Amino acid sequence: MSQSELIKQISDSMQIGKAKLVKQYVTQALEEGIPALTILNEALLEGMGMVGEKFKNNEIFVPEVLVAARAMNAGIDLIKPQLAATGMESKGTAVIGTVKGDLHDIGKNLVRMMMEGKGIEMIDLGVDVSPEQFYEAAVEHNAQLVCCSTLLTTTMAEMSNVVQYFTQKGKRDQVKIMVGGAPVTQSFCESIGADCYTPDAATAAEAAVGLLAQ
Ligand code: B1M
């Protein structure tokens, strides 16, 4: 099978939620030397984009999206070691989570992995994380960076609540707050007084290193 056929097989299997096939083809792709980032961008993310389109057009529904998401995670698990090469000195500590009311976690997990790959210690609070939980974890772990993800327009306001909560507690100047996720934009970031917006996981990891070095 050629590289492009293999990439297509991964994407197609993921879109129909065949996790076993995704694992088989991703393993084959890695053995054939296809870089993890190519598998991520050209097969898994591309495929999930198509799932999103079908979901939006009511061609598929939540159960199908869920199995596709599970298949995507199965593929991500296999490329994770290459995405997050470890063994480097810690560059600082960050807490990360998907904001309150939002249960999407694939993008947030990718951001975490990429940041781990840059040597940042990541405290992952999971999904549906309240401003209080972000704050308490940041204090407990002495984190310099707080990373908030959301995929829903209805929960974007929670990011503003996180910024305000740190301000209320008098800790706003001790942490940098990064925001991201499909509906988030640079102007939204500025409007809520967050420190940094990035559109994807790789850029987020680079920006995080920059912020921690400040
Ligand atoms: Co949901 N969903 N979903 N969903 N879902 C979207 C987001 C949606 C756009 C689909 C659509 O209508 N086209 C839509 C939101 C519409 C809107 O708000 N404008 C939507 C909806 C409506 C819903 C429900 C309300 C559906 C319902 O129940 N009727 C419901 C909400 C539940 C809830 O959260 N309370 C729901 C549920 C689900 C599933 C559970 C079925 C599943 C999630 C499974 C999981 O995450 N474990 C799911 C999925 C999979 C999607 C789509 C299809 C794919 C999301 C995804 O994982 N993308 C999505 C459509 C789409 O995005 N095309 C959709 C891949 C992922 C790698 O990308 O998360 O964007 P993303 O992350 C990127 C960047 O955004 C960025 O980096 C990542 C990679 O480079 N990034 C950051 C993310 N966080 C960052 C943080 C940063 C920086 C960058 O700094 C801190």
144: DSSP letter: S
pLDDT over threshold 60, residue 87: no
pLDDT digits (tens, 9 = 90+) for 38-65: 998 899 988 988 988 898 888 998 889 8
Q: How far apart are CA 34 and CA 41, in angstroms?
A: 12
pTM, 2 dp: 0.87
Site residues for ligand 1, CB cut-off 6 Å = 45, 48-49, 51-52, 55-56, 62, 65-66, 69, 101-108, 110-111, 147-149, 151-154, 178-183, 198, 200-201, 204
CA of 51 to the centre of ligand 1 (A): 11
Any idea which of 69-83, 140-154, 157-171 has the lowest mean pLDDT?
Answer: 69-83
Domains 3-86 and 93-213 equal at CATH topology level = no
- C-alpha 163 – ligand 1 centre gap (Å): 22
Q: Whose CA is closest to 129, among 96, 154, 167? A: 96
pLDDT band with cut points at 50, 70 and 90 for residue 127: very high
Q: Ligand 1: distance of its center to the CA of 150 in Å?
A: 8
> Residues 197-203: contacts with CB within 8 Å, 24+ apart?
201/107, 201/110, 201/111, 201/113, 201/114, 202/37, 202/114
* Rg of the chain (C-alpha set): 18
Q: Which of 56, 65, 77, 145 to mutate to test the pocket of ligand 1 (most atoms within 8 A of CB)?
A: 65
Tokens linked to 113: 């992995």
| Cα 185 from chain centroid (whole Å) | 15
Q: What is the pLDDT of residues 151-191, one digit of tens each?
A: 999 999 999 999 999 999 999 999 999 999 999 999 999 99
Could you tell me which of 148, 56, 138 has the C-alpha nearest to residue 102?
148
Q: What is the whole-number distance in angstroms between the Cα of residue 184 and the centre of ligand 1?
A: 12
Cα–Cα distance, 14 to 20 (Å, whole number): 9
CATH of domain 93-213: 3.40.50.280
In sequence order, what DSSP letters do the residues of 45-88 get, joined into one string? IHHHHHHHHHHHTTSS-HHHHHHHHHHHHHHHHHHHHHHT---S
Q: Domain map of the chain by residue range?
A: 3-86, 93-213
Q: Which residues contact 21 (CB under 8 A, 6 or more apart)?
A: 9, 13
Tokens at 2, concatenated: 């050629």
Q: Does domain 3-86 have CATH number 1.25.40.10?
A: no
